[in-house]
Structure 1
């Protein structure tokens, strides 16, 4: 994937988020270059969802800063597509109604892309979201996020509840969207096989801190391990 001189997708400097006495993120220092598909991995409670919610402007940090595409998150909302863990869609709305709503809410909406992708994954425009399978809802949520033509797609455990076949279809479409849009993507997942399949950059979080981050190829070469062993090794060190 070509990399250019665009500002980093994410740049965190001392990023901290505290809830009472509990630190969800603690002094995170991080730079994610443009043009990557980033895998964000770590155990439950590591701070993955918190980091992504700060990046989407949903919550404010307690201290430190996070820049998204070179600016504060709130300034880039129109250029970021977000798919949350429960792949939120409106149960009472049809596929076509979701697309019409997306067109109303997003000035950069690409109606042709949305219609083409809905047809490619076999969704019925008249079907209500509440009557679709988990895989179909995930595909609809991904299509809506991508039809904004964002510079960055952020996905928080989007395929966690899907069966293996539906998950493979979702990941394949994610890679196609990233290539078509020339976008970057950050994918949070606890499934290391998914990360190894689609990501070329990895961030390992544990205890609200970054344990390791970098492009997958150089990390493998430096540590002499496959991605799964590398991640598990760093998580094991963090727990000691």
Structure 2
């Protein structure tokens, strides 16, 4: 099974094309880094994968099915958006109770353990949490669904380096514990290099390159992921 499979996937907003004729076949079992300049189509691809928007043309399958094909499929995907949304007036415990109510496969023991491990007070209102704490809460809620795929849209962009490092370590820990795949969109190439073993580079709404990081580096004789990404984004490497 593939985590993502797209054929000629296209999304247009009136006259502007966000994605154009994208082909992808990403195998399961990877932490995928999705990178590219602003406006490359990263958020659009992730919103399509979550079923929040529909493609203009072409096809996209997530875990072998159409995105958000039904309640069961929604439960197989966990999503953490860019602003790691939480409800300010809800306590941490309220968020866990809501997660349990909304998700039949909710793992209460996992959620409570992770909240304790990152030092969150169950009685604390989410609106009083730091950015790093909100990100940890959003990640815990997504993971306690026990999804097969976790999707992250720039989740650590606004965090300080220590909070970002803690978030990435938690991400990797959850992926390992759940046996899940993950897709991480980020403009911070150091973060992608730290945790991702598969890479997708988007540019001008098209897939510039996709494949296992080690293979791509070996094929192009680069020593770092940053060198490879910058080469594709600058046009120094042809598709």
TM-score relative to the length of structure 2: 0.96
- The answer as to whether partners of 1:40 and 1:187 remain within 8 angstroms in 2 is yes
Q: Distance in 1 between matches of 2:234 and 2:128?
A: 42
Residues 155-185 of structure 1: CA deviation (Å, up to 9, x unaligned): 0000000000000000000000000000000
Shift of 1:239: 11
**Could you tell me which residue of structure 1 aligns to residue 120 of structure 2?**
123
- Give the alignment of 1:127-138 within 5 angstroms: 127-138=124-135
Determine if the alignment matches structure 1 residue 69 to structure 2 residue 87. no
Shift of 1:77: 1.2
| Alignment correspondent of 1:234 | 232
- Matches of 1:49 and 1:238, distance apart in 2: 25
- State whether residues 206 and 238 of structure 1, in contact with CA within 8 Å, keep that contact through their aligned partners in structure 2: no
- For 1:33 and 1:174, the matched residues in 2 are separated by 19
Gaps of 5+ in 1: 1-6
Residue in structure 2 matching 1:161, options 155, 158, 162: 158
Q: Deviations over 1:39-90 (max 9, x none)?
A: 0000110000000000000000000010000000012211000000000000
Higher alpha-carbon deviation: 27-36 or 69-78 = 69-78
Q: Give the aligned CA root-mean-square deviation in angstroms.
A: 1.2
Q: Deviations over 1:218-239 (max 9, x none)?
A: 1111111121000000000189
Give the length in aligned residue pairs: 234
1:111-130, Cα deviation, whole Å (9 max, x unpaired): 00000000000000000000
Match of 2:51 among 41, 51, 57: 57
Q: 1:1-240 counterparts in 2 under 5 A?
A: 7-75=1-69, 76-225=73-222, 226-237=224-235
Structure 2 gaps, min length 5: none
